[in-house]
Structure 1
Amino acid sequence: MISSVLLASDFLTKISVSLFTGGAVYISLVEHPARLRAGTKTAIEQFRPSYKRAAKLQASLATLGFIGSTTKYYLNNDIKCLTSGLLILSVIPFTLLIIMPTNKKLLDENLDKNSNEAKLLLQQWGRLHWVRSILSIVSLILIQI
């Protein structure tokens, strides 16, 4: 029984953290830079629906990664699993506390899509998102070793 729960938690952790990391790194390396190159107005118009869809997916994956890794920690007493789980979970409060003020400004319908403020907010968002990418990369590495 314990071995099947351990296998299931290992699978849940690896798949959810891998998907989260892949998505976060893709956004940081590909989507957001491409968005910025399209011009500020277009970037804002693309950011809004993209953010709304990605937020739900990424929060779910981070939560599942945490559940799987902490379950694996309790069954296996492997501190790497607990550390991995805490790292992937940390993207949620980081997003809510640090990135959310920028998100709200970018999502505000009163934001002038052609303004320098919009451009600076997009650049700031990209830098902040890299933190999420790095946290998830480290989490992924820990569950693999």
Structure 2
Amino acid sequence: MRLAKPDIKRYVLSMGQSTVVSGSGQIICFGLGSCIGVFLYDKFKGIGAGAHVMLPESPGSPNNIIDCLIQDMLNMGCNAWAIRARLVGGADVMKMTSFQIGRKNIDYIQKKLSHNKIMIQAMEVGGDMYRTARMDIQSGILWVNSGKKITTI
């Protein structure tokens, strides 16, 4: 398995950023701690979307980022019933269990996707480690690197 190819377009998302892409390339979220990497994919249209969501319920945050991603996919010809979501992150990296920021982020994203009738296909969330997630847009394959191992979800 080779994750990095020099000729592939990469869409690297920093905190609060999102993208919707048709065609080839990879959507990447580095260093997902309590943040959530949201990856949406329509395998029939070959359209992928990603967001690096940080504290979605805090004042001034772009808490409609999920709605915007879904609407952009629909505008590109996707059908809501065909869009599948995968979530990565939501960890308690600072081991501050009283705040549960990662858990709150996970719950918020799950509710937002459910409200938009988007099925969650897989999740690698929680724990206490940072993760990097990389989705291939053509195949929809999502690799998650926890530093200890690379998994596919």
Which gives a bigger RCO, structure 1 or 2 (Cα 8 Å, sep 6+)?
1
Same fold by TM-score, threshold 0.5 exceeded? no
Structure with the largest fraction of helix: 1
TM-score (norm 2): 0.28
Larger Rg: 1
TM-score (norm 1): 0.29
Structure with the largest fraction of strand: 2
